[in-house]
Amino acid sequence: MNSRSAARLQWLQDTLRAEGMLPIAEAAQRCQVSEMTIRRDIAASQDTIVSLGGRLLLAEHPQVSTGYDFAAQQDSFAQAKKRMCDEAARMVEADDTIFVDCGTTLIPLFAQLDPDMPLTVVTYALNVANAIEQMALPHVRLVLLGGLYYPVSQSFGGEELVTAIRRLGINKAFISAAGVHADKGVSCFHFHEVVPKQVALETAVQRILVADESKLDRVRPAFFADLEAFDVMLTSGAAGEALRDTLMARPGHEWPTLKVV
């Protein structure tokens, strides 16, 4: 980030603390730059500033900050996550190259894998890499994609990461989400996660969405895919059954195969 971009970011942060919200067009006008330049500044802000509907807000703003806590998420719906990962593990085959994104949902997957199965795991999440290391799976080859580190989600981001994903042959992409909505699509809390998730969806042969019942009928700040972008969805509970009923009542869409565990 150059000094002018850093100065604009500081001005934006100070202005948003004072005013609460600022349209992107107005921010560009006041900074005497293009809207695209403002968007690039936001992309480099390490998630301190987000854009919602053409408006800029601080990530700590109540409209954006809905209480994501990485440590708390580890214990949230733990049994549902285990059941979903049991089902996900059955989808993994010997010599697969699988993509696993960040968050806590897919951590139980590695305990369910056959320890003798040869496998390549691609991830940009430090906690995923640590989980694989702790399991000491002798036949798993780990590809940890690096870049700029985001402690809030224990994950990496950046153009290098995107380029690396595009160069890989991925059999199955296991993607988690913080929000799943039949109309509004699939979303997460952090904007730096959007591009790697999207690139993995473009690259993978099979796309699997894994989201427990607490994530259903929710919309989070960072949209990254329509529900139809997935081949399979694993979910849980009564809310999962309700979503299945909703999708079945709406033919004419390429909905994913929905498995409620």
| CA angle, residues 215, 164, 111, in degrees to nearest 5 | 50
Task: Please check whether residues 49 and 140 belong to one and the same domain.
Answer: no
Count of structural domains within the chain: 2
Nearest CA to 86 among 109, 105, 64? 109
Q: Per-residue DSSP letters for 46-113? A: TTSEEEETTEEEETTSTTT-----HHHHHHTTHHHHHHHHHHHHHH--TT-EEEE-SSSTTTTHHHHS
Domain containing residue 238? 70-260
Phi, psi of 187 (to 5 degrees): -145, 165
Digit-coded pLDDT (tens) for 108-138 = 999 899 989 999 999 999 999 998 988 888 9
Residue 182: inside a domain: yes
Residue 64: inside a domain: no
CATH number of residue 36's parent domain: 1.10.10.10
Task: Please check whether residues 47 and 78 belong to one and the same domain.
Answer: no
Task: Please check whether residues 45 and 79 belong to one and the same domain.
Answer: no
Q: Are 210 and 219 in contact (CB under 8 A)?
A: no
Digit-coded pLDDT (tens) for 78-100 = 889 999 999 999 999 999 999 99
Task: Please check whether residues 141 and 161 belong to one and the same domain.
Answer: yes
Residue 122: inside a domain: yes
Helix axes 35-43, 3-19, angle to 10 degrees: 90
Task: Please check whether residues 9 and 100 belong to one and the same domain.
Answer: no
What's the predicted TM-score (pTM) here? 0.73
What is the C-alpha separation between 129 and 121, in angstroms, rounded? Answer: 9
Task: Please check whether residues 22 and 104 belong to one and the same domain.
Answer: no
Residue 63: inside a domain: no
The token pair that represents 47 in the structure block: 């998630």
